[in-house]
């Protein structure tokens, strides 16, 4: 029983149970109508076709419920994060949770890139961060899923300038492109999935550019925090 004051447990399969019950009720009502003889003769075939359609959907939903319940009963992966074995020159603080299934990396001196203005008159500029995190406790043929977040990120571009953030883990990549006249905070998410990975080779690449013929074009891009969590999360 959940402790008093704890959040209610959400059943990830409940929507399927509700749909099965709804479909069963609709089938029953249509069948009763046909059995009673009250259905208009011109509508009988349409009602029968609708019953067949509902029965097919009912069967599919029952199978989906069975798969959902099996997934729910699966034991969480035993994988945990180890300490970095390789990193680029950026200074950062790394905090790993007690169960070693979540971490937060914060850049101590800022991880950012600028182009335009008096500080960086070049038409383009880049910055890259690399980190290798070993994974421990995995079994052979075990599928591992990890959610990565590039958070506390910020972009600002003026007319004639653009910015791009590339976030990659072991070749699985997500890209955020920002056009001119952008100004916003954002979070870039990457859900990494692999079979028995021994490590996570993480890369964050920042790219800004400006129209070299526009003296007022400027761009700024930063990402100050990286988070990661091995799924599924504790219940």
pLDDT in tens, 20-37: 999 999 999 989 988 988
Quick one: 171 and 211 in the same domain? yes
Residue 96 domain-assigned (yes or no): yes
- C-alpha distance across the termini of the chain, in Å: 13
pLDDT, mean of residues 197-203 = 96
Q: How far is CA 37 from CA 63, 98, 212, in A?
A: 33, 67, 80
68 lies in some domain: yes
Q: Are residues 69 and 84 in the same domain?
A: no
Look at the alpha carbons of 189, 195, 199, 205 in this order and tell me if their dihedral is positive or negative: negative
- Residue 39's pLDDT is 82
pLDDT band at 78 (very low <50, low <70, confident <90, very high): confident
Q: What is the pLDDT of residues 137-162, one digit of tens each?
A: 887 888 899 999 999 999 999 999 99
The confidence score (pLDDT) of residue 8 equals 52
- 127: domain CATH number is 2.60.120
Give how many domains the chain has, as a whole number.
2
101, part of any domain: yes
- Indicate if 185 and 87 belong to the same structural domain: yes
Q: Is residue 80 exposed (0-12), middle (13-18) or buried (19+ Cβ within 10 Å)?
A: middle
Domain termination residue (choose one: 34, 58, 73): 73
Same domain, 65 and 94: no
Does one domain contain both 67 and 98?
no
Q: How many CA atoms lie within 13 A of 136 on its CB side?
A: 10
Q: Please report, for residues 52, 89, 90, 224, the alpha-carbon distance to residue 109 in angstroms, rounded to integers and kept in the order given.
A: 65, 11, 8, 9
State which residues form the domain around 204.
80-231
């Amino acid at each position: 029983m959940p402790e008093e004051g704890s959040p209610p447990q959400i059943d990830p399969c409940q929507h399927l149970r509700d749909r099965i019950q709804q479909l069963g009720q609709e089938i029953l009502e249509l069948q009763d109508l046909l059995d009673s003889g009250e259905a208009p003769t011109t509508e009988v075939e349409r009602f029968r076709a609708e019953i067949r359609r509902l029965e097919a959907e009912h069967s599919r939903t029952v199978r989906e419920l069975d798969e959902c319940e099996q997934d729910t009963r699966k034991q969480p992966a035993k994988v945990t994060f180890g300490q970095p074995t390789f990193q680029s020159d950026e200074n950062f603080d790394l905090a790993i949770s007690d169960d070693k299934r979540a971490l937060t990396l914060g850049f101590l001196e800022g991880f950012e890139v600028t182009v335009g203005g008096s500080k960086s008159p070049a038409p383009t500029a880049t910055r890259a961060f690399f980190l290798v995190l070993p994974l421990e406790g995995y079994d052979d043929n075990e599928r591992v899923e990890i959610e990565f977040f590039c958070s506390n990120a910020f972009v600002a571009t003026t007319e004639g300038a653009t910015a791009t953030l590339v976030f990659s883990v072991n070749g699985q990549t997500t890209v955020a492109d920002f056009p001119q006249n952008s100004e916003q905070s954002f979070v870039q998410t990457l859900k990494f999935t692999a079979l028995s990975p021994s490590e996570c080779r993480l890369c964050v690449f920042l790219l800004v550019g400006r129209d070299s013929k526009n003296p007022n074009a400027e761009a700024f891009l930063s990402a100050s925090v990286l988070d990661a969590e091995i799924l599924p999360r504790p219940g």
